[in-house]
Amino acid sequence: MSVTAAASGFVVLLLTVTVVQCENGWDVSYTSTEICAVRGSTVDITCTYTYPSTVNNHDTTVQETFWFIKESNGIHVDLRTDPEYSGRVENLCGNNKCTLRITNLRESDSAVYKFRFTTNQPTGSLTGSAGVTVSVTGLHVQTEFPVLLKDSRISALRQCWYGVRMAGMLNHRDTTVQETFWFIKESNGIHVDLRTDPEYSGRVENLCGNNKCTLRISNLRESDSAVYKFRFTTNQPTGSFTGSAGVTLSVTDPQLQVHVRRSTANPSSTWTELTCHSRCQLPDHLSYVWYNNNKPVGQKKYFHLRHFNAEDSYHCAIEGQERFPSPTVYAPKPPSVSVSPSGEIMEGSSVTLTCSSDANPAANYTWYKADEDSPTASGQIFTITNITAEHGGKYQCEAQNTHGRSKATLHLTVGAGKSVIIMNIIRLTLVVVLVPVLVWTLWTRMKKTLSLKSEVNEAVEMIESHNCPDYENVAAAAQTEDTEEQEDLV
């Protein structure tokens, strides 16, 4: 059912103290400074005011009284003239007391309401400067603080407020609250009070008073994770209401993390601040325990170090919950480097260098080539495409986080590419094939020359033996032919 039907006129006064503004007998006081009201209800905002009866022998009379929320350049807008409040406001005044009544409240009515009165005196106007803060909302359940510790010795408190103060009566009967309880299970209109649920036996309390109820759950379990809703019933036929939104409770480990912050005011400073932080919202009064190399060293949420040594490690835990520690933070360990593909890298191919280090927080990586001052690349992975012989040599990977740094070196060997190998094969093939052919050709020609020379010598001997007159011509011809053969060989 709606709030209007179930609780028309509900008003909750959160703070009821008298606030007085006094200046030479000019006084304004509000009976309440904060009012929390339910949407659709009626609210009364009351103040009293006083003024001196005479000023400079002139009698004082009140000329105007009104309430306002808007003011500009000294002009105060009477709520009764504001279109947003048309037909919904009354200013009920008498005996120096004024009450602003707002009916059919809307969430847009949430504002600071102030009272002002004017008199016939030259300086006889006064505004109650403090005002009354009105918050208009639907009935709801709110959390005082979430406690998200598994197996905690700390109780989880869940609170709500509910409106039961009536501006009038329903069905001519005074409204009284008959029952208040919290539940997570509901079926066919039946809501199961947590106090009767066997799973919560001996672990829940419903602490109520002054229209405020607190659900206390002790010895939290992960199975307690649920949406908790509050319900109350009254003696009115339609006087039951459930806070529909509910409160979502998540029970889990505290999920602690250590945040590291170094001094930035002085670059040369070595101060480091460690903070024990949880992704869950935890109560401020919890105590923390710090560990250096697994030995307790402090009991504050913040831990300051003058030096963070490379061999040191730190973690934190909540006191009493030491079995749920944070991850350990430490400087990077010596990184390991790898090359893909492994083995000799050929010219023209691509190669990927990878650097990894055990560090917390996760490390930053920088690559350097031997004999070069500026970094070659940054990041955990370094890729070289279309590699050449100039890319070969020593590379150094540096891993660094807020606690320190560490380095590792690798040697990259670049071999000849396919084109170079093919050219070498061609050269070798030519040598292997052409040299024997050339030797055979020379040997054949030399053999032919020797044979021809032998024949010429035999012919000369025959001519000489027969005393042939043409001996000289024949010999000369043979000698000429022999010379031409030798020139051909050359």
- At residue 245, the pLDDT reads 73
Residue range 2-52, pLDDT digits in tens = 333 333 334 343 333 333 344 578 888 998 888 888 778 889 999 999 988
Instruction: Give the model's pLDDT for residue 183.
Output: 92
With H, G, I as helix, E, B as strand and everything else as coil, classify residue 176. Answer: coil
**CA distance linking residue 482 with residue 477, whole number of Å:** 9
Contact, 161 vs 12, CB < 8 A?
Answer: yes
Task: Name, of 132-141, 248-257, 316-325, the range with top average pLDDT.
Answer: 316-325
User: What mean pLDDT is predicted for residues 122-138?
Assistant: 82
What predicted TM-score, i.e. pTM, was given to this entire model? 0.39
pLDDT, average across residues 103-122: 90
Residue 1 has pLDDT above 50, yes or no: no
Task: Give the pLDDT confidence of 331-340 residue by residue, as tens digits.
Answer: 788 888 888 8
pLDDT for the residue numbered 140: 44
- Quick check: 248 pLDDT over 70? yes
Pick 86 or 147 by higher pLDDT.
86
Q: Assess whether pLDDT exceeds 60 at residue 430.
A: yes
pLDDT at 390: 84
Could you tell me the pLDDT band of residue 154, with boundaries at 50, 70 and 90? very low
pLDDT score, position 101? 94
Confidence at residue 483, expressed as pLDDT on a 0 to 100 scale: 55
Q: What is the average pLDDT value for the chain, to the nearest integer?
A: 76
Write down the residue that tokens 């996760």 correspond to. Answer: 362
As a whole number of angstroms, the distance between CA 406 and CA 330 comes to 12
**Strands of 89-94's sheet, edge to edge?**
19-23, 26-30, 43-50, 97-102, 89-94
Q: Flag the least confident range among 40-44, 159-163, 273-277, 437-441.
A: 159-163
pLDDT value of residue 85 = 92
**DSSP of 201-218:** TTTEEEEEETTEEEEEE-
Return the residue matching tokens 């009064």. Answer: 285
Per residue in 165-213, pLDDT (tens digit) is 323 333 445 778 888 999 998 888 888 999 999 999 999 998 888 888 8
Whether the predicted pLDDT of 282 surpasses 50: yes
Residues ≥6 apart with Cβ < 8 Å to 306: 270, 271
Mean pLDDT of 346-366: 86
Q: Is the pLDDT of residue 472 over 60?
A: no
CA distance 315 to 289: 9
How confident is the model at residue 484, as a pLDDT? 54
